[in-house]
Amino acid sequence: MQTQPLQINATEPEKLKPILPKPVILSTPVTGWNGFYFAYHRQLNHKIPETCPSQHISAICIEGFQAKMKINKQWQQKSYAASDVAIFPAHQISPAVEFEQELGFIILCLEPEFVHCAAYESVDADNVEIIQQLQSHDPLIQQIGLALKRELEISIVDSRLYAESAANMLAVHLLKRYSARKLNVREYTGGLPKYKLREVLTYINENLDTNLSLAEISAILSKTLTF
């Protein structure tokens, strides 16, 4: 009897304990961050069955390691470097993996709706499928993950705007580099009129002591443009 892939969801961390038994070291809240989740783990004797994630997952290696991965029903040995990443798209089956040594890794999760909304103004994101990558050398994704880790280690409370900005960059990068068809990023000319930019900057400066989000800034910008 064939075992069904394990359904995993970043918004339900308690259900991940069977495959991630050691407590997460650092993570963002699972609610209130507009569809983006960050987690930093260190696991030992790590075994993950076939899974089917609800979010787009970017897994970032902190250090090099050896692993066995089940591909086309065959176990294969793979070697990963510290700068390697793996991309596991939402609602697609990800292969089983095993490793014995202690390993640190960063997980970046994006809701499919977040990817569509974040990229809507830059690319035509309709009917675009992100392609699974079991191993890719991608310094940009690595630096996004490490920068977020450093920022969150300083403070999670006021890091929301920083994290959402990084998540938007990640979303566009995934669509640009790992989608099923070539995307052309739209070129913009001009920009905000100076008086509108001043209004937005004034709002940001007056609310620096709050946990601002891109959605709030976008709402103010939309209201400004309407007036």
- Each residue's pLDDT tens digit, 177-226: 998 865 555 554 455 555 555 665 566 656 655 655 656 666 665 554 44
Amino acid making up residue 143: Q
CA angle in degrees (0–180, nearest 5) for 216-222-223 = 90
Global pTM?
Answer: 0.78
Contact criterion met (CB below 8 Å) for 87 and 135: no
Question: How far, in Å, CA of 75 to CA of 225, rounded?
Answer: 56
pLDDT (0 to 100) of residue 116: 84
6-178 under CATH 2.60.120.810, yes or no: yes
**CA–CA–CA angle 28, 30, 31 (5° rounding):** 115
Ranges of each domain in the chain: 6-178, 194-226
Percent of the chain with pLDDT over 90: 48
Contacts of 186 by beta carbon, 8 Å cutoff, 6+ apart: 121, 122, 123
CA distance 26 to 87: 20
* Angle, helix 194-206 to helix 214-226, in steps of 10 degrees: 140
Which of 30-34, 125-129, 184-188 comes out lowest in average pLDDT?
184-188
The model's pLDDT over 146-186, given as tens digits with 9 standing for 90+, comes to 999 999 999 887 888 888 889 999 998 998 899 886 555 55
On whether the CB atoms of residues 56 and 9 are closer than 8 A, the answer is no
At 59 the pLDDT is 97
